Each structure stands twice: as structure tokens, then as C-alpha cells.
A and B are shown apart, each in its own frame.
Chain A
Amino acid sequence: MKNTIRQVFHSPKFVVGFCIFMAILLTMLVYPFINPGDPLKMIGLGTFAEPGTYVSMYDSVGAPFSTFKIPDADVKRLDKLLTQEDRAKMREWLELAQVDVSELDVGDMDSLLAMWKQHYDPEIRIPGMIKAVRNYYIRLNNSILSASVSDTLKVTDTDEATGETIEKTKISKTDYVNVDDVANVISLPLGTDNFGRDTLKQLVAACGVSISIGLIAGAVATALGLLLGLLAGYLGGWVDDFIMFFTNIFTVIPSFVLLILINYSINQDQRGAGTVALVIGLTSWVWTTRSVRSQVISLRNRDHVNLSRLSGHSLPRIILTDILPYIASYVMMAFILQVSSGILAEAQLSLLGLGPKTTEVPTLGLMMNWAMLYSAHLNGSWWAYFPVILVIALISFSLNLMNTGLDQVFNPTLRE
């Protein structure tokens, strides 16, 4: 036994898979302590905030500041203001206004701005230009002007009693706030999703729920498959016929179709994560039953079982000590595969909108479902679905790697 475990941990494939899986588990356990709170809390009011660190503007106004004179600060400010696209559009306008742009380089901010300020006039009407485009240029011009107008911004407030405008503070271009001095800073490494929820926190929670769904489904399927397979294989006769009759029926109906039908017939409010896990488990025991049965049939006529019978051992004892240990490694591998396919089945079901109800816990499948419903894939919000896909892939990759590793240890013909 100890030897087998040592051998298992000498298989590189198993070790790699095990490490990936443990890393995922560890993250799942540790992350909620670093970032506690309800993963389904909507913190953002908009949808799909980009990944990054968010600093409260309100709090930064009053925060203590230091003054820095950084040479290219202005250029950077404009750089952020004008995207590459904006600059190309500016050049386009100049061209249409019959300005000679042959020597203009869009990368050179100063000359572009100089030329823009010199020639742009919102009154000039360019033939063929539609109103929306004209308005776009007006807006662009306004923001360029406001960025370059004054060196200081005044922050004012209105006294509610008198209606007087009070000047709160002045912010100069050279004022810098230390992020540590701002009361409210939130870090969203994966941004927010369509409901304005922290995607990373949700992903970690979903990962835990999905793995538990996989474990429950795998445990149910393996236990059921093992029990039926052992009974059918060892007892034979009418018990075997009876069990195989049901197994064959379930084999003919694709289990995913069955899964869809069952889940469809359960009301959405009653479909908790546990229920879904149970249903997945109850529809995927067939292959375990079949293969356990065939292994037991080949084992039951072995001499060591005969010897055990001749020693007067009872049926449960023979099954537990003479049959189970011989198929334990196989059952272990079947379990790992069932866990992996349970996780995938949940993801598929949720994508179809037949997963667990959406109000309690996130799951990997639900996250995908939400991202798809709010067309994250169309508006470029990759953070809402790509990390989820990556995690699903990593989990099933690590589980399958562990399985292959085990297979190589237990099945000597596969060893290199």
C-alpha cells in the first residue's frame, strides 16, 4: 500500500496534475481570507468594469498631496486622452479640410495638436460629413481644449443652506496623491461582470462550488456504479439480469439528454447546486457499473476468491477483502474521471440555462452563462469569460493528468 502511494507520487504526470489541482484548491481556501465578503455582492453600478485598481476620486480630493514636476506628464495626459483612433480621426479631418498633412506624423503629439489648434473650427462644414461624426469632432475638440486650458482645477461645493458656492480646494497638475492615503481603493484584477460583481472573487467562489458539484456527482456516480457493478458481477443470475436491464436502458439514452430532461422538469427555484450535483451523479453511473461488473466477473472465478470461500468467509467480507482491493485503483481512476466530467456537465447545463438557480452561489457554468447572456464575448469583456474557461480547462486537465499518471502506475503495460 505504502509502496503504491510512493510509486504514484513518482509518476511525473500524476505529480504535475496533483500540483495544479492542489494550487487551485489552495487558492480557493486562502483567497476568501484575503478578500472576504459575499462573492455575489454587486459593487459596481455599471457593467463590465475593466480589470485594474480603482481609486476613489472623491477621497483623493481631500487626501494629502505631494508635488512632483515630471517632464512628460503633459504628454502622457494627452496620450491617455487621445487614443490612436482619435489621432487618426484628427488627421482625417485635417485632410478633409484641405490642410497639407503630408509632413504630419500622428505619433508626434505636439505637432498634431499644434496643427489641430491652428486649423480646427467647429464652424467649418465638410461636405458629406454626417452630423454624428461632426459632433464627435466637437466633443473631441472640447476635451482637448479643457485638458490644455488651465493648470489648476477648482473643486467647489454648494452650501445647502445659503446656496452659496464654496471653494473647497484647488488641484494643480503637479499634485500627486499617495494611493495609501486614499481611503477607498479597490483592486479588481479581473474587473467586474455584467452585474458589477467582482469577477475574481466570484471566480474563486465558483471554482469551489463547481469542484464540490464535481465531487458530489463523482461520489454518487462512483458509489452507485460500484455497488451495482459489484452486485451484478459477483452474484450473477437474476440479480445480474435485473441490474443489467436497467444499465442497458440507461446506456441507450444519452446521459446528457437525460440530464437536460430531468433538470428541465425540476423547477428553477428548487434547483440548488446540490440538486444539480445529485442529478448529474444519478445519470452517470452506467459506465462505472458496466466496467466494475466485467472486472468482478473476471475476478470472481479466481482461485484467491475460491480459497476465501473455502475458508468460510461471508459474502460482504469476500467483496470487501477479495474483490474491492483488486479493483480499488480502477475505482479511484473512475472517480477522478467522474469528478472531471461532473464539473464539465454542470458547465454545459448552466450554459443552456439549466444549471443551479442563479441567486445563491456562483458556479463556473453560471459565470459562463451570465457572460454569454450579456454578450461579454461581443463587447470585448474578455475578463468575464476567459478566466472561467481557463479554470475549467485547468481543473479538467489536472484531473485527467492525475488519471493518466495513475493509469501508468496501475497498468504496467502503459509504462514507458
Chain B
Amino acid sequence: MTMHDACAVDQHLTLAPKRIGDLENRPLCLSGKGVTKVFGTGAKQTVAVDHVDFAFHEGELVSIVGESGSGKTTLAKMLLGLISVTQGEICFQGKPRDISTSRKKREYWKGIQAIFQDPFSAFNVFNKIDTVLLDCIHMTGGRGLPHAKKVEMMEEACCFVNLKYAELTNKYPFELSGGQMQRLMIARVFLLKPRILVADEPTSMIDACSRATILDMLLQLRDEIGMTILFITHDIGLAYYISDSVYIMEHGKIVEQGTADEVILTPKAPYTKRLISDVPKIYEPWDLTTV
């Protein structure tokens, strides 16, 4: 890979993995028991997520790994409250989650936000970038702020993701590149500062160079704001590198879970072993540019 030179600036991540230690002592922020999602009825029934149990701690970076079609996005949407749960219970910050009314949903979404897989389809093409960012300020109660203050907040958010606010005003999202759009998405999260961030394959649609930058930003969000990040990926090597704990998903079921070192260095489930054997350089120091 010749990407190496081009991305020399973004090489903060070629070091050994960084884990937060005391997982057990942290409070639970999102957990679920027997969470199931069935699409369709009768003969056309698909069980996308099948009796899944999980527990995510505050400030943890959890990876959910599985191949295409294993139900990762479906699980993420259930966690986000975007689709209904067929069966099972989800607890948010220790209490059973209640999103029965739109007011309660809005309250819930102040605590949990998302980054989507495909940045190109994630923005309304009729809305300007300012609208996207202003909506976030309004959602966190900044509706009454003076305009100058709002601009300052947007500038700060853009600065965090290495974008220039002055260049973005009056532009539409589709006028940006994929990587820039994904960074704009992170700027949104930066403004909203939710407790939990669900990142559904945030780097799968963009090039290796932008990928490192995005991952770096996610780690920064975790370290600086203490966000819990649910990182969904099909790439077990990447998961090993950045996460504290890992869940392996196959056909809607969680087949293995534990800390990243446990799961990847001593895999038990055959599916995990197969996933690991597909990645050639897993035991060498990880170079993100070859991901």
C-alpha cells in the first residue's frame, strides 16, 4: 500500500491498542435482554436479531462484529429506537427504556445519537449544512441563543472535525466529499454530546486515508467527552485495535463476547476463529492504512 506516505499526518493510530481498564466498576448505560427483531410475517418471516443479550458500560468503546446480513444495523436501529423491538427489553441508564410517546423519544435521542453507514444518503439534499448543525443546537436547548453564539458553536464543531465553517455555510451536503460528509456527521455528534453514540460502519464507504481521521475523532470523543461508543463493523482487526469489548454476531445471534483481548487472542466460537483467520496480520502491530 502506497497510502502510507499520503497519510503520514494521520498516523497517530499505528501504535498499540489503547484500552480503558476498570470496565466492571463503571455503571451500565445501555443493556438488553432477549432482544429480538422479526421482519415480516408468515412464510416471508426473517429473524434479523435473535434473543440478543448485551451490557454496555459508560465510556466504553464496544465493537459489534459480524458479516453482512448478520443483523448489526437492525440491532443498532432498535437501540436507537428507530424501529420497534419485537421481543425483549432494553434498559437505558439502569431503567427500562420508555419511548412510547414522541416527547419521550425526543428526550431519549438527546442521550443517544448515530453515525450512519452511508454518508451520501444520510443527509437531506434539500437542506443546507447550516440547517443540519443549527438543528442540533436547537435540540440541545440552544434555540434562544444569539446568532453570533450559535455561529461560534458551529465553528467550534467544524474545527473539531477539521472542517472550515466559513467554507461550508450556504453549501449543500452533496457538495462535500464522502469523508467530509462523515466528518460533518461527527460535528453533529460533537454539538449534541449524547451519552451514547452508535456508529454503524462509519468508515465502510470512505477511503483508507479518511478512515484513520474518522476513527481518531471517535476515540477523541470517547476520551474527551466520555461518550459510550457502539462501533459496528465487519472488520475484526479494526475492532481489536480500537475497542474495549467485542461482541461477535452471526445470523442475528451473539456467538461470543468479552474484552477485545479475550475474544480475539483466545477465540472460542468457531465463527470467531474463522473471522480471525481471514485477517492475515492480526498479531502484528496494526497499521490502519492497510485496513
Contact = CB atoms under 8 A, between A and B. Distances in A.
Interface stretch (B112-120, B146-154, B261-269, B273-281): B112-120
B106 A307 contact: no
B114 A306 contact: yes
A66 interface: no
Contact of A307 (B102, B105, B122): B122
A385 B116 CA distance: 62
B127 A321 contact: yes
Given A308-B124, A314-B102, A321-B126, A303 B116 contact: yes
Contacts of B82: 306, 309-310
A310 B112 CA distance: 9
A307 B123 contact: yes
Contact of B118 (A303, A309, A311, A322): A303
A304 B80 contact: no
Interface in B119-161: 121-127, 132, 135-136, 139
Given A310-B80, A311-B135, A303 B121 contact: yes
B128 to A, nearest CB: 12
Contacts of A307: 114, 116, 122-124
Nearest to B114: A310
A313 B135 CA distance: 9
Interface in B82-131: 82, 102, 105-106, 109-110, 113-114, 116-118, 121-127
B102 A304 contact: no
A308 B123 CA distance: 9
A322 B135 contact: no
Contact of B139 (A302, A311, A326): A311
Nearest to B126: A325
A306 B113 CA distance: 11
A303 B122 contact: yes
The size bracket of the interface on A is 10 to 19
A7 to B, nearest CB: 15
Contacts of B114: 306-307, 310
A309 B110 CA distance: 11
A71 interface: no
A22 interface: no
Given A307-B116, A309-B82, A314-B102, A321 B124 contact: yes
Nearest to A307: B122
A304 B122 contact: yes
Given A303-B116, A321-B127, A325-B126, A315 B102 contact: yes
B139 A304 contact: no
Contacts, number: 50
Contacts of B125: 304
A312 B106 contact: yes
Nearest to A306: B82
Contacts of B123: 304, 307
Interface centre among A302, A303, A308, A325 (most CB of B within 10 A): A303
Interface string A314-338: 1100000110011000000000000
A310 B113 contact: yes
A307 B124 CA distance: 9
A322 B121 CA distance: 12
Nearest to B194: A310
Contacts of B117: 303
A314 B101 CA distance: 12
A310 B188 CA distance: 11
Contacts of A321: 124, 126-127
Nearest to B127: A321
A309 B118 CA distance: 17
Contacts of A309: 82, 105, 109
Contacts of A312: 106, 109-110, 135, 139
A311 B136 contact: yes
A306 B198 CA distance: 13
A322 B123 CA distance: 9
Given A314-B102, A322-B124, 19 more contacts: A303-B116, A303-B122, A304-B123, A304-B125, A306-B82, A306-B114, A307-B116, A307-B123, A309-B82, A310-B82, A310-B109, A310-B113, A310-B114, A311-B139, A312-B109, A313-B135, A321-B124, A321-B126, A325-B124
Interface of A: 302-304, 306-315, 321-322, 325-326
18 contacts: A302-B121, A304-B121, A304-B122, A307-B123, A307-B124, A308-B124, A309-B109, A310-B80, A311-B132, A311-B135, A311-B136, A312-B110, A312-B135, A321-B126, A321-B127, A322-B124, A325-B124, A325-B126
List 5 tightest A-B contacts by C-beta distance, closest first: A303-B122, A303-B116, A325-B126, A312-B106, A311-B135
